[in-house]
Amino acid sequence: MKKIVIVGLGLIGGSLALALKGFEDYKVVGVARRQATVDYALSHGVGDEATLNVTAALREADVTFLCINPEDIVAFMREHRSHFKPGSLVTDVCGIKGAIMEASRALPPEVDFVGSHPMAGTEFSGIEHALTDMFRGAHYIITPREDSRPENVALLARMADYLGCRDVVNTTPAEHDAIIAYTSQMMHIIAVSVCDDESLFTCKGYEGSSFRGCTRVAALDVDLWTQLFSLNAPALTVCLDALLGHLKAYRDVIAAGDEQRLKKMLAWSSDRKRQMDLPGPDLLS
């Protein structure tokens, strides 16, 4: 059997190891840094095998998923460049693509790299929160290099279908990072900013579904999101500048008591949301 090696058995890596079991003629092997994680994977069926020996696993991997933090991915590809199996496919699941795609240049030419980003996750972290259906209905974004092999791009698309993803979107790293800054990273900034308010704890018991929905992702993985925000700073600051302008516009019209202007602004924004929810092509299609 061929082998899919998943480096990093956290929430996403663990979910991949669960969901890819049985895919075509591949065996799924998880690689972790701690024996406790390996033991959990083996006892809970997270993948077919689990190991601490990353070098041995890479040498036998036909496909390698890098499911660790972005800065760790960059360092990992440099450190292990000579350990990847010649002719194999290496990919990642990172929410930032520009820095990862650039770092992939460290790999030898006989190793193919295709960037990818399954748009799925929860506010939790760790292998114990991994879910077999994590990716069901999610977008699977692929950012091939100009020299990526078509057969490997097609292989990732088949994997995405096996995972239950809603669709596969091919795009460039720059477009990915600009859109993700708006659709994901800015939403996390909004969530943590709301939780920064000094009145947060006095509101306990008064939270409605809108508050819970807005702040759901605020309990984030600090190290991961620090890296994601920092590595995508140019695109994210553009989005935040635009958001600050929109917030100020609403603040000013409310402070002025201009109800007619407020109605027009609300009607325009709510109509855009309704249009976004209509069936049709997605933003990333």
Dihedral pair phi/psi, residue 92, rounded to 5°: -145, 180
Q: Does domain 2-171 have CATH number 2.40.30.10?
A: no
Q: What is the pLDDT of residues 46-66, one digit of tens each?
A: 999 999 999 999 999 999 999
Structure tokens at 30: 């998880």
Dist CA 12 CA 17 (whole Å): 9
Q: What is the pLDDT of residue 56?
A: 98
Of 132, 117, 142, 119, nearest to 162 by C-alpha is 132
Dist CA 271 CA 264 (whole Å): 11
The pTM of this model reads 0.86
Within 8 A by CB and 6+ apart from 247, the residues are none
Taking each helix axis from N to C terminus, what angle separates 233-255 and 259-277, rounded to the nearest 10 degrees?
140
Q: What is the mean pLDDT of the chain?
A: 94
For 210-231, what is the mean pLDDT?
93
Within 8 A by CB and 6+ apart from 157, the residues are 140, 142, 168
Dist CA 84 CA 107 (whole Å): 8
Q: What is the pLDDT of residues 171-211, one digit of tens each?
A: 999 999 999 999 999 999 999 999 999 999 999 999 999 99
**CB neighbour class for 74 (10 Å; exposed up to 12, middle 13-18, buried from 19):** buried
Q: What is the pLDDT of residues 93-126, one digit of tens each?
A: 999 999 999 999 999 999 999 999 999 988 788 9
Dist CA 79 CA 106 (whole Å): 9
Return the bridge partners of 92, or none.
66
Secondary structure E strands in the chain: 2-7, 26-31, 49-51, 63-66, 89-92, 112-118, 139-144, 167-170
Dist CA 99 CA 266 (whole Å): 38
Q: What is the CATH number of domain 176-276?
A: 1.10.3660.10
Q: For the chain, which residues make up each domain, given as ranges?
A: 2-171, 176-276
Q: What is the pLDDT of residue 278?
A: 77
Q: 63-66 and 89-92: which strand pairing?
A: parallel
C-alpha distances in angstroms, 4 versus 20, 26, 201? 9, 6, 46
Q: Is the pLDDT of residue 281 over 80?
A: no
Structure tokens at 16: 């991949």
Amino acid found at 140: Y
Of 192, 188, 177, nearest to 238 by C-alpha is 177
pLDDT over 90 percentage in the chain: 92
Q: What is the pLDDT of residue 283?
A: 40
Three-state SS letters, 8-60: CCCHHHHHHHHHCCCCCCEEEEEECCCHHHHHHHHHHCCCCEEECCHHHHHHH
What is the DSSP code (8-state) at residue 6?
Answer: E
For 146-172, what is the mean pLDDT?
96
